[in-house]
Amino acid sequence: MELSWKPNRKNKVPIYLQIKEYIIEKIKYGEWPVGTVLPSQRKLAQMVGVNRSTVVQAYEELMSEGLIEGVEGKETKVINTTWNIFAKDAKITDWNYYVKNSLFEPNKVFIQKINKAEFNPNIIRLGTGELSPHLLPVTQMKEIVSSLQIDPTHLRYEEPKGSIQLRMALSEHIQAFGIKASPSNILIVSGGLQAFQLIANGLLRPQSKILVESPSYLFSLNLFQSLQMTLIDVPLDKMTEQMSIIKKMKEQHNASMLYTIPTFHNPTSFSYSEEQRKQIVSLCQSIQLPLIEDDVYRELWIDEPPPRALKSFDYAGNILYVGSASKIISPGLRIGWVVGPDYVIDRLADLKMQTDYGTSSISQAILHQWLEQKHWYTDHVHKVRNELRKRRDFMVGCLQQYFSELASWTKPTGSFYIWLRLNQPISPTLLFERLLERNILIHPGAIYQEKGGVHLRLSYSYESKENMEFALRELATIIREKT
Ligand SMILES: Cc1ncc(COP(=O)(O)O)c(C=O)c1O
């Protein structure tokens, strides 16, 4: 539960009454219907910045008026609406029932907590998967936005596959990755994430099995599972040793697709060699296993350019290629793209029209401008790479200093992440909570694989060097205490 409200200390009304009135308003207008679980007294006191005794007083009055109920040590809940007190036989909607019994799974608890904590202004984000605000191209973006000759197209719905200008520009852009795709084979989506949603809804059936490298970013989402599909782990190290494991697992599970992040994999930053890429493509083709190639980090190489995209070796139309502007220009634009055969792109575009009637036309026009202004784009990407290199080197230096006896890691050659392997397992929940108490936010490995107790995903893309070092030192201290 989120509260953006604080009591007014200058107001003559006592604070406990202000809290009581605030809760009554929430109940009165149905924002907190019957069944809503209120924060514990301690939590609410923290949230609104008062003593616990003040909240106790407010809750006691609400209880005596029959609006809420709370038993010592248990949840405090709304049990009555304000009008229901007067209209005793009125019926009340049980929204809890709807929420709990709906189709879509909630996020993993770690992800829910991360999504909330990220917006605490004092938090240090040690695992975040986005560029630091200092690396976002604010100045160029201002110029691009002000140079946009706004006309009605920017304010209208776009065509089903997205802006033709943007698709033409992307068709040219991805040629540099070895991919040949006509604009009609590209669909603009609202971030790479929507591509997975459309693929799941538009191409797969309930009970489908999807092979996924383990660990993987995909395990941090519940979107396939919510559609009654199962993600099957293919251990990444086994895959790199012996690609034939894909065939074995496809047969064993009757799998429908393989999802892979072949370039600067999230969370390990691993990239397949060119040889391995050719093997995956030809193997999947020979066993008729379609592939989703998630390539959102490709341009963020630090040491040397990665091998060509898997899609560039695909002459059979077996690969759905997913890209995004999120990791390079702006996640807030919410723009991604899918490249695939005609039939698939038409199907996904039809579904997209039913889902949101197209990605923001203005965002599409902005990205189009970025791709048109090639020198701006290249200068920006160049700057980001240089910065990421410095940050990566800094974080690796800190790890050498504070973690040489506690953990192991591989120095990444691109993107944002270091997959830290602790020498001793430690409860991810305990570690997460202990650090959160110190305003440090980590991404436990358990988000990305089932048995993630010995890993953490660190990121050097977001925090300042001072914050990185401070947080890593704290992390090392807690690990020492707990192992
Ligand atoms: C591997 C990978 N794919 C896709 C995405 C989704 O990005 P977006 O929806 O912002 O394009 C992310 C975001 O973290 C990611 O790490």
Cα 33 from chain centroid (whole Å) = 30
Average pLDDT for 449-469: 92
**Predicted pLDDT at 125:** 98
How many whole angstroms from 215 Cα to the centroid of ligand 1?
A: 15
How many whole angstroms from 111 Cα to the centroid of ligand 1?
A: 14
Q: Determine the atom of ligand 1 nearest the C-alpha atom of 196.
A: 4
**Residue ranges of the alpha helices (H) in 177-235?**
192-203, 223-226
Describe the crossing of helices 374-403 and 138-147 by its angle, rounded to 10 degrees. Answer: 160
**Predicted pLDDT at 87:** 57
How many whole angstroms from 103 Cα to the centroid of ligand 1?
A: 23
Q: Which of 189, 217, 260 to mutate to test the pocket of ligand 1 (most atoms within 8 A of CB)?
A: 217
How many whole angstroms from 416 Cα to the centroid of ligand 1?
A: 12
In angstroms, rounded to a whole number, what is the distance separating the alpha carbons of residues 393 and 462?
A: 14
Phi, psi of 203 (to 5 degrees): -130, -15
In angstroms, rounded to a whole number, what is the distance separating the alpha carbons of residues 155 and 261?
A: 35
**Atom 13, ligand 1: which residue's CA is nearest?**
129
* Nearest CA among 18, 16, 68, 61 for reference residue 38: 68
How many whole angstroms from 198 Cα to the centroid of ligand 1?
A: 14
* Nearest CA among 316, 294, 276, 288 for reference residue 415: 294
Which of 54-58, 70-74, 85-89, 186-190 has the lowest average pLDDT?
85-89
Phi, psi of 293 (to 5 degrees): -100, 110
Residue 19 has pLDDT above 70, yes or no: yes
How many whole angstroms from 173 Cα to the centroid of ligand 1?
A: 19
**Predicted pLDDT at 35:** 85
* Nearest CA among 334, 430, 327 for reference residue 110: 430
Q: Determine the atom of ligand 1 nearest the C-alpha atom of 261.
A: 1
Q: How does pLDDT run across 327-365, given as a tens digit for each residue?
A: 999 999 999 999 999 999 999 999 999 999 999 999 999
Does the CA dihedral 366-358-308-209 come out positive or negative?
positive
Q: How confident is the model at residue 483 (pLDDT cuts 50, 70, 90)?
A: confident
**Predicted pLDDT at 73:** 74
Q: Determine the atom of ligand 1 nearest the C-alpha atom of 195.
A: 9
Q: How does pLDDT run across 132-162, given as a tens digit for each residue?
A: 999 999 999 999 999 998 999 899 999 999 9
Q: Token pair of 146, please?
A: 């002000």
In angstroms, rounded to a whole number, what is the distance separating the alpha carbons of residues 9 and 228?
A: 51
Residue 178 CB contacts under 8 Å (≥ 6 apart), including other chains: 308, 309, 311, 312, 313
**Predicted pLDDT at 84:** 61
- The enclosing H or E element of 338 equals strand 336-339
**Atom 7, ligand 1: which residue's CA is nearest?**
192
For residues 329 and 437, the answer to whether their CB atoms sit within 8 Å is no
What share of the chain has pLDDT > 70, as a percent? 98
**Predicted pLDDT at 22:** 94
Give the chain's end-to-end CA distance (angstroms, integer).
33
How many whole angstroms from 95 Cα to the centroid of ligand 1?
A: 31
Q: Which of 295, 327, 461 to mutate to test the pocket of ligand 1 (most atoms within 8 A of CB)?
A: 327
* Average pLDDT over all residues of the chain: 94
In angstroms, rounded to a whole number, what is the distance separating the alpha carbons of residues 63 and 40?
A: 14
Average pLDDT for 379-393: 98
CB-based pocket (< 6 A), ligand 1: 129, 191-193, 217, 261, 266, 294, 296, 324, 326, 331, 336
How many whole angstroms from 213 Cα to the centroid of ligand 1?
A: 16
Q: Which of 212, 326, 352 to mutate to test the pocket of ligand 1 (most atoms within 8 A of CB)?
A: 326
How many whole angstroms from 105 Cα to the centroid of ligand 1?
A: 19
Beta strands 230-235 and 417-422 are unpaired
**Predicted pLDDT at 434:** 96
Does the CA dihedral 87-90-94-98 come out positive or negative?
negative
**Atom 4, ligand 1: which residue's CA is nearest?**
192
* Nearest CA among 476, 397, 443 for reference residue 129: 443
* Nearest CA among 172, 253, 162 for reference residue 207: 253
Q: How confident is the model at residue 16 (pLDDT cuts 50, 70, 90)?
A: very high
How many whole angstroms from 26 Cα to the centroid of ligand 1?
A: 35
Residue 397 CB coordination number (10 Å): 13
Residue 175 CB coordination number (10 Å): 12
**Predicted pLDDT at 86:** 53
Q: Determine the atom of ligand 1 nearest the C-alpha atom of 130.
A: 14
Describe the crossing of helices 465-482 and 374-403 by its angle, rounded to 10 degrees. Answer: 30
Domains of the chain, with CATH numbers?
15-101 (1.10.10.10), 109-129+379-482 (3.90.1150.10), 148-372 (3.40.640.10)
Q: Determine the atom of ligand 1 nearest the C-alpha atom of 334.
A: 10
Query: Which of helix, strand or coil describes residue 363?
Result: helix
Separation in Å, CA 290 to CA 215, 417, 423:
20, 27, 37
Residue 23 has pLDDT above 90, yes or no: yes
Say how many CA atoms lie within 13 Å of 179 toward its Cβ: 28
**Predicted pLDDT at 9:** 92
What share of the chain has pLDDT > 90, as a percent? 86
Q: Determine the atom of ligand 1 nearest the C-alpha atom of 190.
A: 9
Q: How does pLDDT run across 254-279, given as a tens digit for each residue?
A: 999 999 999 999 999 999 999 999 99
Q: How does pLDDT run across 167-203, given as a tens digit for each residue?
A: 999 999 999 999 999 999 999 999 999 999 999 999 9
Does the CA dihedral 139-142-144-147 come out positive or negative?
negative
Q: Token pair of 177, please?
A: 């990755």
In angstroms, rounded to a whole number, what is the distance separating the alpha carbons of residues 446 and 443?
A: 8
Q: Determine the atom of ligand 1 nearest the C-alpha atom of 335.
A: 11
Instruction: Name the β-bridge partners of 212.
Output: 233, 259
**Predicted pLDDT at 83:** 65
How many whole angstroms from 130 Cα to the centroid of ligand 1?
A: 9
Cα 79 from chain centroid (whole Å) = 35
**Predicted pLDDT at 303:** 95
